[in-house]
A and B are shown apart, each in its own frame.
Chain A
Amino acid sequence: MAEVIWGLATSHVPSIGAAMDRGKTEDPYWKPLFDGYRPAREWMAEHRPDVAVIVYNDHANAVGLEMVPTFAIGTADSYRVADEGFGRRAVPDVVGHPELSLHLVEQLVDEGFDLTVCQELDVDHGLTVPLSIFCPEPGDAWPCAVVPVLVNVIQYPQPTAARCYALGQAIGRAIAGFPDDLKVAVFGTGGMSHQLAGSRAGYINPTFDHMYLEAIQADPEKLAALTREEYIDQAGSEGIELIMWLVMRGAMNPEITKVHSTYHVPASNTAAALALFDNRVPRPA
């Protein structure tokens, strides 16, 4: 049977990927962020999943405003890295896991989550930057297959935090019911507090961010109860991306163990964080 082995919450700021692609991770601006990633990266390298379910949002690249699915899932054999206007990132294309995708679609629709199905999807920094944070040097291929799950966080009304959490719980049940032996990692991406437009551009709320980093492990129900207006007010218009962390959290066990977390300001216009959680029952020391 398939099993969720760990969950990773991480920002997906495009400049984090650009810093890696351009060899700037040792620059004074970037070094603290990448130093903060190190323990998590080492642990993840020792706990390789077969598949990563990556919950993210597209940023005007593969999804236009003609049709905006609230929730969507990729079912393809592979996903091309998107050209976001400055050429494709020099990272491998993403290999899919259509069997798990199809299983998830059936189970989730039966549970009342009517996801849009994508047979073809270019994946932008929302997905590839978290993959690079997980695996900085993939070589010719990423170390695992990927099932992309998309959430609309750009156009109001975004789905509620509670709905995201419930979707995650349904994903967790569906993964547990997948007949093959698969080790699965779940990524919740985006955040933390940031706002790109308007007079509040550059807004950061470290108090809210630190609360969120604690509660995502110990009290996700509290975060699921926040309204989208509270997310926008507290975390900024783009900080509402944090609702995607709740999809990851919902797919994990009620009790999880923190492996590592780190928080840094700024990555471009954003407060950046990473939190890695082991989903397996803690064994007595």
Chain B
Amino acid sequence: MTAEGRPGAQENYVFDLATSRRGYRMNKLFGSLGDPANRERFTAGEAAYCQEFGLTAEQQQAVLDRDWQAMLDLGGSIFYVFKLAMMDKRSMQYLGGVFTGMTEEEFMAALKAGGRIRG
């Protein structure tokens, strides 16, 4: 089943196997950042590190630009993408703001007000 085949899949960002295959190398790079030595190597040369993991040109650009939405669109899993965000000292609320066109503060306020309730 393709992501397009499910109603609401786009807005839901279902991380299915086709997405996982597409994002595999990029997610593997993010996963490697759990190791402090790898974080150092990544910081020392981000482009070279991306090439080492075999990212596509688009994925590499998304990583270098910190284009969080593009990382998702190119197969990123939010749990893996978050490893890079943590390196940048960005919170999940910051990312939530990026995905919904809000600032981090606005996003946090929306959650404190009860969340973006179905309606």
A66 to B6, CA, bound (A): 25
Interface centre among B6, B7, B80, B111 (most CB of A within 10 A): B111
Question: Does any Cβ of B come within 8 Å of A135's Cβ?
Answer: no
Chain A min CB distance to B83 (Å): 5
Interface string of B11-34 (1 = CB under 8 A from A): 111111100100010011011011
| Cβ contact within 8 Å between B15 and A156 | yes
From 72 to 119 in chain B, residues with beta carbon under 8 angstroms from any chain A beta carbon are 72, 77-83, 86-87, 92-93, 95-96, 99-100, 107, 110-112, 114-118
Chain B min CB distance to A24 (Å): 15
A204 to B110, CA, bound (A): 10
Question: Does any Cβ of B come within 8 Å of A197's Cβ?
Answer: yes
Chain B min CB distance to A65 (Å): 5
Band of interface residues on A? 35 or more
Contacts A64-B28, A65-B27, A265-B115; A202 near B20 (Cβ below 8 A): no
- Please name all residues of chain A whose beta carbon is closer than 8 Å to the beta carbon of B24 when the two chains form the complex: 65
Interface size on B, residues (CB 8 A): 44
Tell which of B72, B82, B117 touches A204, judged by Cβ atoms closer than 8 Å: B117
| Cβ contact within 8 Å between A200 and B12 | yes
Interface string of A205-222 (1 = CB under 8 A from B): 111000000000000000
- Chain B residue nearest in CB terms to A64: B31
| Cβ contact within 8 Å between B96 and A196 | yes
A202 to B86, CA, bound (A): 19
- Please name all residues of chain A whose beta carbon is closer than 8 Å to the beta carbon of B79 when the two chains form the complex: 59-60, 154
A265 to B31, CA, bound (A): 30
A199 to B102, CA, bound (A): 11
Chain B min CB distance to A266 (Å): 4
A207 to B114, CA, bound (A): 12
| Cβ contact within 8 Å between A60 and B117 | no
Contacts A64-B31, A156-B16, A157-B16; A200 near B117 (Cβ below 8 A): no
- Please name all residues of chain A whose beta carbon is closer than 8 Å to the beta carbon of B8 when the two chains form the complex: 232-233
Contacts A196-B95, A196-B96; A65 near B77 (Cβ below 8 A): yes
Interface string of A54-66 (1 = CB under 8 A from B): 0000011100111
Interface string of A32-57 (1 = CB under 8 A from B): 00000000000000000000000000
6 contacts between A and B (CB under 8 A): A85-B34, A86-B86, A156-B16, A202-B96, A202-B115, A233-B12
Starting from the known contacts A199-B100, A202-B111, A237-B13, 12 additional A-B residue pairs (CB-CB under 8 Å) come to A65-B24, A83-B34, A85-B86, A196-B95, A197-B99, A201-B99, A202-B96, A202-B110, A204-B115, A238-B78, A266-B111, A269-B92
B-binding residues in A (CB < 8 A): 29, 59-61, 64-66, 83-86, 154-157, 193, 195-207, 229, 232-233, 236-238, 265-266, 268-269, 271
Nearest first, the 6 closest Cβ-Cβ pairs linking A and B are A204-B115, A198-B13, A266-B111, A156-B16, A197-B78, A60-B79
